[in-house]
A and B are shown apart, each in its own frame.
Chain A
Amino acid sequence: MPKRIVVPFGPQHPVLPEPIHLDLVLEDELVVDVVPSIGYIHRGLEQLVQKREFTEYVYVAERICGICSFMHALCYCQGIEHIMKVEVPDRAKYLRTIWSECSRLHSHLLWLGLFADGMGFENLFMRSWQLRESVLDVLEDTTGGRVIQGTCKVGGIRRDIGQEKLDEMHRALDPFEQQCRDLGDVFLNDETVKYRLQGLGVISKDEAYTLGAAGPTLRGSGVAVDLRETGYAAYGDLGFKPIVETAGDCYARCAVRVKEVYASIDLIRRAIDGIPEGPLDVKVKGAPDGEYFSRVEQPRGEVVHYLRGDGTKHLARARIRTPTLANIPALVKMLPGAQLADVPVVVLSIDPCISCTER
């Protein structure tokens, strides 16, 4: 009977850009149990709704997470708009979609890089992050910020993208897509990558579903759930089909994200083609009175903002459920049976975003 030892993993660890702590129970090199503990980044920003007016809280919502910042703002704004029955102009919806997909691109490329780093494929890490910079350039050009954009507001958006810039973006998409496909090809077809990832950290369809996993973690196990199908912003006009893999291992989760990169490029292309003229925002009068569960598909999965207003400038309650929190139970299920050396890869495969999780 091998002896059991407990290895602490985190909160400060070379492969983790963010602090999460896992106690790994090992038998020799094999992981048999995992106890996660979180709270290193808890700030308590849900309560800030009582100190910030509902229109100002957009800035705080953006800073729940610096990677999916735009989508947090979008989710919050859509919630408030629904409560206040504000109809956002079409051009704003399209631009929101374009920025959302840009965020998804930069998030997925960032993740692909970190994942490659976790596998020990340094070269691929650098290559992914190099590609990501061209997305950040577009974001900076169009919004002024690289990672925190600040363009979403209640009732619409704050800035337009001129036709000239849209054309330029459109022209840049083809070469960019080619580069992404070259990169994705390594992730999907390279023998060493496959050897490292296939069959690792498997979670079955039923388990993923019952544990409430979200996003690529769920779709990698064969459950076709993607909130973009519900048609918020301009996704209804553009049409969207979820990307699904069935194996449920690290390779499948990686494949989902690689293919979502291609899908995002396609969505941006079609959004630029179809963008209507018109105003950017509508005036918002009064204060929210009512409650709503606002949901948006982030790069990591489904985010839920529950918002309740009582007719004053300050919301009574905000509750934010982020995708990583939903994926941690799935992670705890995936790890047992893995080798200690594979733990970083499995942890990264759910794309953990701790500052979201702990708010």
Chain B
Amino acid sequence: MSTMAFLKRSPWILHYDASSCNGCDIEVLACLTPLYDVERFGIINTGNPKHADILLITGGINSQNRPVVRNLYEQMPEPKVVVAIGACAATGGIFRECYNIAGGVDKVIPVDVYVPGCAARPEQIIDGVVKALGILEEKREKMTGKAEIKEGARHAAEAGEGT
């Protein structure tokens, strides 16, 4: 829980059910309710991908939801982190041999954290989100780093033009 101790921002979460059996879904929801209550850390479940930092996906990819998953991911602003929850989201799980399952979420979008389990327990999910926060912070630093380099180069160029 060490990341939690110095949580700088309030990450917002978007949850999408790709083709899960619901088991992992309701455990994600259980994280938001009084026993686990992640809202006390400022983590909020949002319905709008444009507000979200972390995408929680349960279930595997099938032909119908493939564009939906990609669409949601693309609508999220950078930096963003994807957490795949449950065996299904990692590999297709128990359904991997079904004719309509292409495999895990990483078939369509890059995944940063895999939370194992069938069903994944709320404690594990929270752990996964905490890991994701670390990655989010790293990505943000990289982005700001890049931005600063760009900014620096721009300033240098402007200064060069001046002389």
Q: Do A and B come from one complex?
A: yes
Listed in ascending order, the chain A residues whose CB lies under 8 Å from chain B are 11-15, 17-19, 39-45, 47-48, 51, 59-60, 63-67, 69, 110, 113, 125-126, 129-130, 133, 136, 145-148, 353-356
CB <8 Å contact, A145 and B22: no
Point out the residues of chain A lying under 8 angstroms from B48, CB to CB: 14
26 contacts between A and B (CB under 8 A): A17-B25, A18-B22, A19-B16, A39-B64, A41-B59, A42-B19, A42-B100, A43-B60, A43-B62, A44-B100, A60-B94, A63-B23, A63-B94, A64-B21, A66-B21, A66-B119, A69-B21, A69-B23, A129-B34, A130-B34, A133-B34, A146-B119, A147-B22, A147-B119, A355-B19, A355-B22
CB <8 Å contact, B65 and A40: yes
The residue of chain A having its C-beta at the shortest distance from the C-beta of B95 within the complex is A43
A142, B37: Cα distance in complex, Å: 25
CB <8 Å contact, A147 and B23: yes
Q: Which 5 residue pairs are nearest across A and B when measured between Cβ atoms?
A: A66-B23, A14-B47, A66-B22, A129-B33, A44-B100
B140 to chain A minimum Cβ distance, whole angstroms, is 25
Contact partner of B119 among A39, A42, A145, A355, CB < 8 A? A145
B59-89 interface bits toward A, Cβ cutoff 8 Å, 1 = contact, 0 = none: 1101011001000100000000000000000
CB <8 Å contact, A17 and B30: no
B98 interface residue, CB < 8 Å from A? yes
The residue of chain A having its C-beta at the shortest distance from the C-beta of B65 within the complex is A40
Apart from A18-B25, A66-B26, A133-B34, list 20 A-B contacts with CB within 8 A: A12-B72, A14-B47, A14-B48, A17-B29, A19-B17, A39-B64, A40-B64, A40-B68, A41-B20, A44-B98, A45-B95, A47-B99, A48-B97, A48-B98, A51-B97, A59-B94, A66-B25, A126-B34, A146-B121, A355-B19
Point out the residues of chain B lying under 8 angstroms from A129, CB to CB: 29-30, 33-34
With A17-B17, A48-B97, A48-B98 already in contact, the answer to whether A42 and B64 are too (CB < 8 A) is: yes
B106 interface residue, CB < 8 Å from A? no
Point out the residues of chain A lying under 8 angstroms from B68, CB to CB: 11-12, 19, 40
Point out the residues of chain B lying under 8 angstroms from A356, CB to CB: 22
With A45-B98, A51-B97, A133-B35 already in contact, the answer to whether A65 and B64 are too (CB < 8 A) is: no
With A17-B17, A18-B17, A63-B94 already in contact, the answer to whether A42 and B62 are too (CB < 8 A) is: yes
A196 to chain B minimum Cβ distance, whole angstroms, is 21
| Chain B contact residues, majority secondary structure | loop
B121-143 interface bits toward A, Cβ cutoff 8 Å, 1 = contact, 0 = none: 10000000000000000000000
B100 to chain A minimum Cβ distance, whole angstroms, is 4
The residue of chain B having its C-beta at the shortest distance from the C-beta of A133 within the complex is B35
A252, B142: Cα distance in complex, Å: 55
B90 interface residue, CB < 8 Å from A? no
| Number of inter-chain CB pairs below 8 Å | 122
CB <8 Å contact, A43 and B23: no
With A14-B47, A17-B26 already in contact, the answer to whether A43 and B97 are too (CB < 8 A) is: no
Point out the residues of chain B lying under 8 angstroms from A64, CB to CB: 21
A300, B100: Cα distance in complex, Å: 26
B101 interface residue, CB < 8 Å from A? yes
With A47-B98, A145-B119, A148-B119 already in contact, the answer to whether A40 and B33 are too (CB < 8 A) is: no
A66, B25: Cα distance in complex, Å: 8
A355, B23: Cα distance in complex, Å: 10
CB <8 Å contact, A147 and B27: yes
B13 interface residue, CB < 8 Å from A? no
Which residues, 15 to 65 on B, are CB-close (under 8 Å) to A? Answer: 15-27, 29-30, 33-35, 46-49, 59-60, 62, 64-65
A130, B64: Cα distance in complex, Å: 35
A102 to chain B minimum Cβ distance, whole angstroms, is 15
CB <8 Å contact, B34 and A19: no
Point out the residues of chain A lying under 8 angstroms from B19, CB to CB: 40-43, 355
A19, B18: Cα distance in complex, Å: 8
B156 interface residue, CB < 8 Å from A? no
A141, B114: Cα distance in complex, Å: 27
A218 to chain B minimum Cβ distance, whole angstroms, is 22
A133, B33: Cα distance in complex, Å: 9
With A12-B16, A146-B119 already in contact, the answer to whether A44 and B101 are too (CB < 8 A) is: yes
B62 to chain A minimum Cβ distance, whole angstroms, is 6
CB <8 Å contact, B33 and A126: yes
A64, B19: Cα distance in complex, Å: 11
B7 interface residue, CB < 8 Å from A? no
With A66-B20, A130-B35 already in contact, the answer to whether A44 and B99 are too (CB < 8 A) is: yes
The residue of chain A having its C-beta at the shortest distance from the C-beta of B16 within the complex is A12
A40, B68: Cα distance in complex, Å: 9
